[in-house]
C-alpha cells in the first residue's frame, strides 16, 4: 500500500473536555484517550469529522489511533507495546510495527514517547529500517527530545527539526497559540500539564472546562504559579496581536 503523505504544516492536538460527572463534552481530545472505551473514541472521531465537514473543511486530515478507520480518520498514530519493557527488544518493536503496517487499512505513523512506555526509546536505526521496509509507514512522531524528526512533538525543537528536514509538528499548544512557536511557548504551557492546558483554553478562550478524568486532577488557572500566569498572559497577548 502506498500511503498518501500528510500535508505540510502544524497539526494541533485538540483537547477533550469533561463535565463534572466526567462524561464527555464532545469537543476534542488530548492525552485522555487512554481512559475512554473504543466506542467512545470512535464517537469522538465521528463528531470531529462531522464538524469539519459541516464547516467546509472536507480535505482536513485527522491523525488518530488505529482502532477506528471507518470513523473518518486519515492516518493512524501507534505506540509500541511496552508492558514487558525488558523483553521488548528492537527486533520485537520492528516486528510489531511491521505487522501493524502490513495489516492497517490506513497509513501508519510511528509514535516514540518513552515517558509513557516505561522509558523505552525506539532507536533511529529501527525507525529507518521500518521506513525502508514498510511502504505503509509514512513517518514518525517523536516526543523524546530528539532533534531528528518527521513529526516533532514539542515546539521547543520545532526549528531544529525543520532544519533537519522535519515534515511538520503535532502539538497541543496550538490550541492556545497556533501562530506562536518557539521555546518560550513550550516552556510556559509545558509546566501546567494536560489538565492545565484545558484550564488555560477554558479561561482565556471561553469554551470547555478544566475538568479532567481521574487520576488527573482539576487544574484551575487561579491555582497556577504567578510566573506561569505571567508568561501565559504574554503569549496570549502576542497571539491576539498576530
Catalytic site residue from 141, 154, 191, 198: 141
**How confident is the model at residue 2, as a pLDDT?**
47
pLDDT digits (tens, 9 = 90+) for 167-189: 566 777 667 666 654 444 455 45
pLDDT at residue 204, as a whole number: 82
Please tell me the distance from the alpha carbon of residue 240 to that of residue 234, in angstroms, as a whole number. 10
Rounded CA-CA distance 179/159 in Å is: 14
Cell of residue 89, nine digits:
527488544
Q: Give the other-Cβ count within 10 Å of 195's Cβ.
A: 22
Q: Is the pLDDT reported for residue 149 higher than 60?
A: no
CA distance 187 to 145: 13
Taking only the tens place, the pLDDT of each residue in 210-227 is: 777 765 666 677 777 777
From first CA to last CA, the distance across the chain in angstroms is 41
The sign of the CA dihedral 188, 219, 204, 55 is positive
Position 209 pLDDT exceeds 70: yes
pLDDT score recorded for residue 163 = 46
| Residues facing 91 on adjacent strands | none
Fold for the domain defined by 9-179: TIM Barrel (3.20.20)
**141: annotated active-site residue:** yes
Amino acid at each position: 500500500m502506498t500511503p498518501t503523505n500528510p500535508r505540510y504544516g502544524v497539526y494541533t492536538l485538540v483537547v477533550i473536555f469533561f463535565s463534572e460527572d466526567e462524561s464527555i463534552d464532545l469537543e476534542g481530545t488530548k492525552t485522555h484517550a487512554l481512559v475512554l472505551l473504543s466506542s467512545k473514541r470512535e464517537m469522538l472521531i465521528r463528531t470531529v469529522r462531522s464538524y469539519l465537514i459541516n464547516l467546509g473543511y472536507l480535505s482536513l486530515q485527522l491523525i488518530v489511533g488505529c482502532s477506528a478507520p471507518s470513523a473518518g480518520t486519515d492516518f493512524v498514530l501507534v505506540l509500541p507495546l511496552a508492558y514487558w519493557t525488558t523483553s521488548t527488544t528492537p527486533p520485537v518493536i520492528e516486528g510489531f510495527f511491521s505487522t501493524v503496517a502490513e495489516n492497517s487499512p490506513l497509513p501508519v505513523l510511528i509514535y516514540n514517547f518513552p515517558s509513557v512506555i516505561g522509558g523505552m526509546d525506539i532507536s533511529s536505526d529501527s525507525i529507518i529500517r521500518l521506513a525502508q521496509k514498510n511502504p505503509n509507514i509514512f513517518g514518525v512522531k517523536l516526543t523524546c527530545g530528539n532533534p531528528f524528526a518527521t513529526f516533532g512533538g514539542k515546539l521547543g525543537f520545532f526549528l531544529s527539526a525543520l532544519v533537519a528536514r522535519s515534515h511538520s509538528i503535532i502539538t497541543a499548544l496550538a490550541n492556545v497559540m497556533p501562530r506562536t512557536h518557539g521555546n518560550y511557548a513550550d516552556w510556559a504551557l509545558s509546566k501546567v500539564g494536560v489538565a492545565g492546558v484545558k484550564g488555560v483554553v477554558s479561561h482565556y478562550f471561553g469554551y470547555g472546562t478544566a475538568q479532567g478524568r481521574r487520576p488527573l486532577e482539576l487544574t484551575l488557572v487561579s491555582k497556577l504559579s504567578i510566573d506561569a500566569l505571567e508568561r501565559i498572559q504574554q503569549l496570549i497577548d502576542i497571539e491576539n496581536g498576530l
